[in-house]
């Protein structure tokens, strides 16, 4: 079966939503992960405990269950979210837990003497983190974060279960319409592969730029 123009545009629309969900969730997940990682390193017992519980719960439960809780469970408490909003929230919370561990490990990889040297130069803790610690940690974190990013791109397929019209959902609708399976699954497999390859290339360029900046 030859894919006609409307079907191709429908698949491209699904790819757009897949990219949108990935980028938005990764952005908010990165913010969450940074705050959680810093909370783990503050030494404050309450913050450390809360951060540990959050990471433990998210990493210890399936993403699909988390999506169901956000979309199907919250209405029991009077909170009803649109499918796309539920996808953003659930994926951001999920990826934030994993990124927090990556960021924490990267921060711990920076020698303690770097912070001490920055403080001796008159920097505040915030300035030292922004100008000295975080740039060095970013160079270490970019590779594992890139793997997490690509993994998130593929995990967006799970939100098709709550009718978000991302790539997998679109293919399922087209399969129901045409009653033909293989062409559409091959098409979305190729599209996922192309998007993953594109992100790998971009992240590789960022990693090289950070390495050059650090060495110079």
Percentage of residues in the chain with pLDDT exceeding 90?
46
Look at residue 166 and tell me whether its pLDDT is greater than 50: yes
Structure tokens at 104: 């924490």
Q: Please report whether residue 126 resides in a domain.
A: yes
Q: Please report whether residue 97 resides in a domain.
A: yes
The range of the structural domain enclosing residue 135 comes to 15-163
In tens, the pLDDT along 11-29 reads: 899 999 999 999 999 999 9
Q: Please report whether residue 195 resides in a domain.
A: no
Per-residue model confidence (pLDDT) at position 1:
46
Q: Please report whether residue 54 resides in a domain.
A: yes
Instruction: List CB contacts of 144: < 8 A, sequence separation 6 or more.
Output: 102
List the CATH number of the domain containing 120.
Answer: 1.10.3720.10
Handedness of CA 11, 201, 153, 129 (dihedral sign): negative
Q: Please report whether residue 53 resides in a domain.
A: yes
Q: Please report whether residue 151 resides in a domain.
A: yes
In tens, the pLDDT along 26-63 reads: 999 999 999 999 899 888 899 999 999 999 999 999 99
Q: How far apart are CA 165 and CA 36, in angstroms?
A: 31
- Domain count along the chain: 1
Per-residue model confidence (pLDDT) at position 77:
95
Confidence class of residue 3 from pLDDT cuts 50, 70 and 90?
A: low
Is 0.95 surpassed by the pTM of this model? no
Q: Please report whether residue 51 resides in a domain.
A: yes
Q: Please report whether residue 143 resides in a domain.
A: yes
């Amino acid at each position: 079966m030859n894919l006609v123009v409307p079907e191709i545009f429908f698949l491209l629309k699904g790819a757009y939503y897949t990219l949108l969900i990935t980028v938005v969730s990764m952005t908010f997940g990165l913010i969450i992960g940074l705050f959680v990682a810093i909370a783990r390193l503050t030494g404050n017992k309450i913050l450390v405990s809360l951060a540990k519980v959050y990471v433990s719960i998210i990493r210890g439960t399936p993403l699909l269950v988390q999506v169901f809780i956000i979309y199907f469970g919250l209405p029991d408490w009077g909170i009803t979210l649109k499918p796309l909003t539920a996808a953003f929230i659930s994926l951001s919370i999920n990826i934030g837990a994993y990124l927090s561990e990556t960021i924490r490990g990267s921060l711990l990889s920076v020698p303690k003497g770097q912070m001490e040297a920055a403080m001796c130069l008159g920097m505040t803790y915030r300035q030292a983190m922004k100008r000295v610690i975080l740039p060095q940690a970013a160079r270490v974190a970019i590779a594992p974060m890139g793997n997490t990013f690509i993994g998130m791109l593929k995990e967006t397929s799970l939100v098709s279960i709550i009718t978000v019209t991302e790539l997998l959902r679109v293919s399922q609708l087209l399969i129901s319409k045409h009653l033909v399976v293989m062409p559409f699954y091959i098409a979305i497999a190729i599209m996922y592969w192309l998007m993953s390859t594109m992100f790998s290339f971009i992240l590789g360029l960022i990693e090289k730029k950070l390495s050059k900046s650090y060495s110079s």
